[in-house]
Amino acid sequence: MRMSIFVAAFAAAFGLAVSGGAQTLTTLHAFCTLENCADGAAPEKNPLILGPAGELVGTTAGPTGTLFRMSPQKDGTYSLKTLFTFCQITNCPDGRGPNGSLVRDVDGNFYGVTASGGHVDNGVVYKLSHNPDGRRWKLDVLHVFCATDCSDGRSPYAGLTYAGASAGLPYDGVSPLFGTTAFGGAQDDGTVYEMLPPTGENHSWSEAVIHDFCSDSNCSDGSIPFAELLMDGSGALYGTTIGGGGGNTGLAGTVFKLTQGKSGKWSETVLYSFCDDNGCPNGSSPWAGLIMDASGNLYGEASSGGEAGLGTVFELRLRHHRYEPRTLYAFCKLANCEDGSDPQTTLSMNSAGTIFGSTSSGGASNAGTLFELSPRGDRYHFSILHSFCTESDCADGNQPYAAVTIDPAGKLFGTTIAAGAHNQGTVFEFVP
């Protein structure tokens, strides 16, 4: 990593670690290798999921979107196969540009969303089912957003979640799925929705909005949720919005919780409004989702705010049934933002409590960074693992937007939305 003596000394003074991580990051695939980008392009905020045989499954948003599988080979490389291409029908009623994380069920089928496509180009919820040999995949549209008056939401930029997802269990195929739309709903400020599987005589999936954002005065309940939801063991849902909230300095976003009462009705509680304090020290505008540790503490990234105004990693510590905010790290501490800026990815945490994340900007080439926060008692130690676009012609990728996936051996797998050999993004492996 190209750092001046000044930057290295600055890092030491602030207790930061800077790793020569370029030697341990391997590009597994550069998208758009095939003619007409048949292998996909620009995976955007679409994290990978780890299969039972160590395979990696994910989606790309371009050119119209793909579902792909990367299978490990004996020589340590990975082979990519495109399983499905979206928008195979004129005008894309089957969806275009899949977004967010995939859901895998117990039978190996996948569920997800597209932010566009559908009959009115406002996105769909889909299911991809495979035949017994897994060679052919069939797409079923489970819901078309904004088919009437958009009260059901529009533009779902985040994937789905379900009971058991945070524990790593596959989806059972019969319980509800939950997601967010960035817009639409009663106020056009986004929704949280529930997808209900077929039951009894009802042979179709049904969608129901369980919260309309900006329902409270001055949008104090939040507005515009871009990230996926987190469901805890009790069935409560947690999420973020990039706008709204009751902060003193404007509509800078929220962390919220939704709980279902005995009547079946859901109610929202705002756990934190960003910019409650002058200068937004804990951050503002969180585009990413949340993770939770065994003690119920919540962790996330805010894309702006903090000491330099260029983003933070924050924690909401659960103390006596209340959440206390604190900043674990504020970005752009180093000269030229060598430590990263503008974080927009959902964090990941391993069994030791180490947190991994990325920034979309900053780093040695202003192409984003991969970082870790390792627990040291009650504090966390920040380390730069890799600065992107530090290899020749940016072969290592540019702008990581999706959460990294951690395998049982502790390896990290992720994607970048740009650069690589064909400037259409990469899949990478990093060994901490």
3-state secondary structure of 93: coil
Q: How confident is the model at residue 278, as a pLDDT? A: 65
Residue pLDDT, tens place only, 400-425: 999 999 999 999 999 999 999 999 99
- Count of other CB atoms within 10 angstroms of residue 173: 15
- pLDDT band with cut points at 50, 70 and 90 for residue 13: very low
Residue pLDDT, tens place only, 55-113: 999 999 999 999 999 999 999 899 999 999 999 999 999 999 999 999 999 999 999 99
- pLDDT band with cut points at 50, 70 and 90 for residue 4: very low
Query: What rounded mean pLDDT belongs to the chain?
Result: 92
Q: How confident is the model at residue 133, as a pLDDT? A: 67
The mean pLDDT of 320-336, rounded to a whole number, is: 95
* Phi and psi at residue 393, to the nearest 5°: 60, 25
Residue 125 buriedness (CB in 10 A; 0-12 / 13-18 / 19+): buried
Q: How confident is the model at residue 424, as a pLDDT? A: 97
What DSSP designation does 170 have?
A: P
Strands of the sheet with 298-302, listed across from one edge: 291-292, 298-302, 312-319, 322-330
Instruction: Report the range of poorest mean pLDDT among 6-20, 228-242, 329-343.
Output: 6-20
DSSP string, 230-288: EE-TTS-EEEEESB----TTS---EEEEEEE-TTS-EEEEEEEETT-STT-TT-B---S
Closest listed residue to residue 329, CA positions, set 362, 366, 295: 362
* Domains of the chain by start residue, with CATH: 5-430 (2.130.10.10)
Query: Is the distance from CB of 404 to CB of 371 less than 8 angstroms?
Result: no
269: which 2 tokens?
């509680």
The mean pLDDT of 360-380, rounded to a whole number, is: 97
- pLDDT band with cut points at 50, 70 and 90 for residue 14: very low
The mean pLDDT of 10-31, rounded to a whole number, is: 62
Q: How confident is the model at residue 250, as a pLDDT? A: 57
CA dist., res. 60 & res. 114, Å (int): 11
- Count of other CB atoms within 10 angstroms of residue 347: 22
Closest listed residue to residue 156, CA positions, set 192, 188, 181: 181
Buried b or exposed e, range 129-166, using 16+ CB within 10 angstroms: ebeeeeeeeebebbbbbbeeebebbbbbbbbbbbbebe
Looking at the chain, the whole-number percentage of residues with pLDDT higher than 90 is: 86
Q: How confident is the model at residue 261, as a pLDDT? A: 96
The H helix count followed by the E strand count for the chain is 1, 28
Residue 379 β-bridge partners: 376
CA dist., res. 318 & res. 32, Å (int): 45
| Residue recorded with tokens 């996948």 | 110
Q: How confident is the model at residue 347, as a pLDDT? A: 98
3-state secondary structure of 393: helix
